[in-house]
Amino acid sequence: MPDSTITVPADLRRDLSIASVRSTIVDVPTVRRHKLSQTSVTAQSYVIVEVRLANGAVGVGEAATLGGPRWSEESVEAIKANIDAYLAPALEGLPADRFEAAGARMDAAAKRNNAAKAAVETALFDAVGKTLGLPASALLGGAVRESVPVLWTLASGDVGQEIEEAENKLAARLHDTFKVKVGALSPEADLARLRRLAGALEGRAGLIVDANQAWDETTAVRCLPVLAELGVRLIEQPLPAWNIPGMARVRARSAVPLMADECVFSAHEMLAVAQAAAADAVSLKLVKHGGLLNLRKVAAVAEAAGIGLYGGCLLESSVGAAAHLQAFAGLRELAWGCEHFGPQILTDDLVQEPLRFEDFHVHLPAGPGIGITLDQDKLRGYARR
């Protein structure tokens, strides 16, 4: 991949040096319970990172988790501790536009910790973009789209409530594809729930199913014919992340495409999934891949293998969603759209101008950096004490 350092005059380069890194844990309530196979949340927790440069520019990034270290090993408490104690000291004084060098320093300072690194790297891109008056997408090669099709996730477990929720989203022209979280109930109960959803939305909306690693191979194979019959478009991570051979066997028997999520954090893991023919699509997330640059590297491996791209989320606020959109904007192919509905599931947002959801798309925010302005009053109001 080409070097991602941008060229700026020497006097401005001195001003681009990293002066400070600040992290803040925030907890924002959700409008309803969001239920996954392994946990459920009624408030979403983030670490907001603010990087200040010597020139006074402040860049913002975000790391999201789901109910603590249940989706991956990182919790907001660990993310903040590792940023403060290890990542921030490693970057002090480095010119902020040396993105690859910053990544190398963070990798030397801490293993994994991908969400923490992603939040810091996002803040660097935001600060440099604000300094130069350029969107982060331009620093990544430029945008090929201004909006992305966006789905909504149905995850309360109450099928009546989910049908009503979906109808409201359709009527408002916000979402016409719905991802259904399964795995918390028995397979029989989940299939009955899916039958009701498919019947209620038939011909007006598409369905994706996400098991979040909850099924074994036998269960997945048993459910496949029903999912195909119901017209499900995509099945996300039905098996545990370690079972890539099992994913390949399930994919070989499935009429519905399979998507890899938790089994692909790095470009190396993406290569292994591609070599095993274990997926038709991959979910791209900053918290998994460790930043904008690594997300693009994972996407490049997937593209080379003919695997489709999908913009995944971890219920990010407008801060994290905007960062993802900057990366997605430059991908030539994004066949499966994205699921960055996170700002809409929060009772409040953390930015001055929320993202625009319209005509079943989420729109790339205008402005330099990642395109948003952090609301300091809300940051203080939702900060954990």
- For the annotated catalytic residues, the residue numbers are 181, 339
The Cα-based distances of 348 to 25, 48, 326, 370 in angstroms read 16, 15, 22, 20
DSSP state of 279: -
User: Which of 112, 129, 125 is CA-nearest to residue 75?
Assistant: 112
Q: How far apart are CA 61 and CA 381, in angstroms?
A: 18
Strand, helix or coil at 11? helix
Tokens of 307: 């695997």
User: Is-contact 314 352, C-beta < 8 A?
Assistant: no
Q: Say whether 3 sits in a helix, a strand or coil.
A: coil
Task: Report the amino acid identity of residue 344.
Answer: Q
User: How many CB atoms neighbour CB 376 within 10 A?
Assistant: 11
SS3 of 105-118: HHHHHCCCCHHHHH
Rg (CA), the chain: 20
C-alpha 55/C-alpha 59 separation (Å) is: 12
**Token pair of 324, please?**
């993802």
Q: What phi, psi does 266 have (nearest 5°)?
A: -110, 170
Do 71 and 64 contact (CB within 8 A), yes or no? no
CA–CA gap between residue 141 and residue 330 (Å, rounded): 7
